[in-house]
Amino acid sequence: MSILLESQIKSLRTEGLLHLVEDVEKRIGSHVAGGDPVDEYVQQQRYILDLVQEELKRRNTCHV
C-alpha cells in the first residue's frame, strides 16, 4: 500500500498536497477529539503527512 500511496502523492500538484495536509490534520484532530483514538489510524495519517513533507522537500530542492 505504501508504494501506491507514494506514487499518488507524487502525482499531486503542490496545491493538492497542501489540501491533503489540511485534510489529514483535520482527520487526526477529529479522531483524537472523539476520544479513545485508534493508534494505528493516527499513525497511518502521520505517515501520509511524512510522505507529503518529503515530497514537498524534494520538489523544493529540484527547483533550486
Q: What percent of the chain has pLDDT above 90?
A: 84
Number of domains making up the chain = 1
What does the mean pLDDT of the chain come to? 93
Residue 8 is part of which domain span?
2-62
Q: How many CB atoms lie within 10 A of CB 33?
A: 8
What's the chain's length in residues? Answer: 64
Query: What is the model's pLDDT at position 2?
Result: 83
Query: What is the model's pLDDT at position 63?
Result: 64
1: DSSP letter: -
* 30-50 residue pLDDT tens: 999 989 899 999 999 999 999
Query: What is the model's pLDDT at position 64?
Result: 56
Residue 10 three-state SS: helix
